[in-house]
Amino acid sequence: MTTSSDQPVPDSSAVQTEMLGYLTKRTGKTWATDADVFGSGGLSSLFAMELVVHLEKSYGIAIRGADLRVENFRTVRRMAALVERLRQPTPGGSGA
């Protein structure tokens, strides 16, 4: 599969595992893939931006516009789905 990055395309399970580790390291708390990371009340809007930057750098994606909705970052499963969707080639793109 051709992507906009030279990084290998991770599968959803690998993204979930990595993100669970990242959240545990940053918060000192163990998370489940479907846990609402913002519903717990302990995470700030600044942390939300850290998540965006982490995902962009780790997976070679650009999160912009409508993709910046909190719903895309509420759970590890949703973050992994966002990464997977953004790593797909753009229809009609050059494929380069």
Residue 88, pLDDT > 60, answer yes
| CA dist., res. 64 & res. 81, Å (int) | 15
Tell me which of 77 and 95 has the higher pLDDT: 77
Residue 51, pLDDT > 50, answer yes
Q: What angle do CA 55, 25, 63 make, to 5 degrees?
A: 10
* pLDDT tens sequence across 1-23: 334 445 555 688 999 999 999 99
* pLDDT tens sequence across 59-86: 999 999 999 998 999 999 999 999 999 9
Classified as helix, coil or strand, 11 is: coil
- Contact (Cβ atoms closer than 8 angstroms) between residue 20 and residue 7: no
Please state which architecture CATH assigns to domain 10-87.
Answer: Orthogonal Bundle (1.10)
So where are the chain's domains? 10-87
